Amino acid sequence: MSVTEKPVRPHPLRVIGFLLASFPLRIAAFVLVVLALVLGITTTMLWIGIPVLVAATSLTRVFTDLERGWCRVLLGVEIPTPRRLPHGPGLLATWQTRLVDPTTWRELNFVLLALPLGIVEFVAGIVSVAVPPFGIFVAPRIGAMHAALARSMLGPDRASQLEARARQLKASRARGIDAVEAERKRIERDLHDGAQQRLVAVAMSLGRAQFKLDSDDAAGARALIGAAHADAKLAVSELRDLARGIYPPVLQDRGLDAALSSLTARMPFPVDVSVTVEPRPPAPVETTTYFIVSESLTNIVKHAQGADRAAVRVTRDDDTVVVEIVDNGQGGASLRPGSGLSGLADRAASIDGVLTVVSPIGGPTVIRADLPVRW
């Protein structure tokens, strides 16, 4: 969960179901937890209270885990389980650790607050059934407020979120460095195997042509100069293709739509292209998008068995550019370490993006990248 995650407005019918159906759970949670706490506290001096209090905190965890599940299914809000303090063996060590764990107290406060809150929400649910406009316009806002409260009390605290974010950025930076290093090696390899070999052939042909001219063999020299000219044109073409793969001029001048249309026009099979990214995203996002599409299409040509058609779809909302590449091959692709798709995931992670691959046996294969437009 991001520290800047926006609240969502859930569907009215789901919210009404949540308001009504969660009330019995809140009654059970409140009664069982309060009884266990009272019994445990009053019998602590006899040592019987220790396992009872441990059971009370365990019940609290069970009910708050159920609450997270309800919020995910009915309110559409994912609440990650916060990190808990590790405890040693034995009931006493477990209780001592839970006693000083802030998560325990936050979850306990939520369980105690949930009953009076649930009474209000249950009444709102009944009113929503009886008065449809209330259910359509007001109930979703109640659900959104409940989700925000549950997320603040049952999710990781801000320090944990910032710590997780720091770990994510550290991993993203490392993967970005790996992606840049892999790209550098690819460029070096392409230069060595392509343009460099052509230029060596040009130099050798010109050297032999000079020898022919010294020997008054004009016809032989003309043939060698022609071969050198052909190799020079191939070298220029390969250098142009290499530069286009790094950052094509059309991408800078005309944006993703024109760049991807130009890219797909060179594919050996038809590719449907749909690009809707207004306003234009930042240059790093455009470059990453182009790279992911280019490499994905190349992988389809090389590895996708039976693929004779593909589709590229790029859309944008306020915060994210979503890139989807679909082919009709036999599937079976996966994000294996060291694979080409893993390199694409590293490239997406370099700007804090996420790449996923869905490729069941029999196809189709869907490669999706979610790239943030703000950092």
pLDDT per position as a tens digit, 355-374: 998 888 887 889 999 999 87
pLDDT at position 1 over 50: no
pLDDT per position as a tens digit, 132-157: 899 898 999 999 899 989 988 888 87
Average pLDDT, the chain: 82
Q: What is the dihedral of CA 242, 248, 249, 252, to 10 degrees?
A: -150
Q: Hey, what are 217's tokens?
A: 């063999």
pLDDT per position as a tens digit, 172-184: 666 666 666 666 7
Predicted local confidence at residue 347, as pLDDT: 82
pLDDT at position 325 over 60: yes
Mean pLDDT of 242-261: 77
In this prediction, residue 5 has a pLDDT band, given cuts at 50, 70 and 90, of very low
CA atoms within 13 A of residue 322's CA, in its CB half-sphere: 10
Peptide bond into 156 cis (omega under 30): no
Among 153-162, 223-232, 238-247, name the one with the lowest average pLDDT: 238-247
Mean pLDDT of 68-72: 89
Long-range contacts of 309-313 (CB under 8 A, 24+ apart): 309/269, 309/270, 309/271, 309/272, 310/267, 310/269, 310/270, 310/271, 310/272, 311/271, 311/272, 311/273, 311/274, 312/260, 312/264, 312/271, 312/272, 312/273, 312/274, 312/275, 313/274, 313/275
Predicted local confidence at residue 316, as pLDDT: 92
CA-nearest of 164, 144, 18 to 80 is 164
Among 159-163, 247-251, 334-338, name the one with the lowest average pLDDT: 159-163
Mean pLDDT of 223-234: 78
Mean pLDDT of 186-209: 75
Q: Report the percent of the chain where pLDDT is more than 90.
A: 19
Q: Report the percent of the chain where pLDDT is more than 70.
A: 86
- Please name the residues in contact with 192: beta carbons below 8 A apart, sequence gap of 6 or more: none
pLDDT at position 4 over 50: no
In the chain, domain spans: 12-156, 175-246, 254-372
User: CA-to-CA distance for 345 and 288, rounded, in angstroms?
Assistant: 11
Q: What is the dihedral of CA 40, 41, 47, 53, to 10 degrees?
A: 40
Among 54-68, 215-229, 300-314, name the one with the lowest average pLDDT: 215-229
Q: What predicted TM-score, i.e. pTM, was given to this entire model?
A: 0.52
User: CA-to-CA distance for 85 and 67, rounded, in angstroms?
Assistant: 21
pLDDT at position 113 over 50: yes
Mean pLDDT of 341-364: 84
Predicted local confidence at residue 2, as pLDDT: 42
Predicted local confidence at residue 168, as pLDDT: 65
CA atoms within 13 A of residue 84's CA, in its CB half-sphere: 19
CA-nearest of 301, 12, 25 to 136 is 12
- Sign of torsion over alpha carbons 303, 337, 335, 184: negative
Q: Which CATH architecture has domain 254-372?
A: 2-Layer Sandwich (3.30)
pLDDT at position 312 over 90: yes
Predicted local confidence at residue 273, as pLDDT: 92
Predicted local confidence at residue 255, as pLDDT: 85
Q: Hey, what are 158's tokens?
A: 């801000």
In this prediction, residue 245 has a pLDDT band, given cuts at 50, 70 and 90, of low
pLDDT per position as a tens digit, 268-307: 889 999 999 888 888 889 888 988 998 888 888 887 778 8
pLDDT at position 3 over 60: no
Predicted local confidence at residue 219, as pLDDT: 79
CA-nearest of 254, 355, 241 to 298 is 241
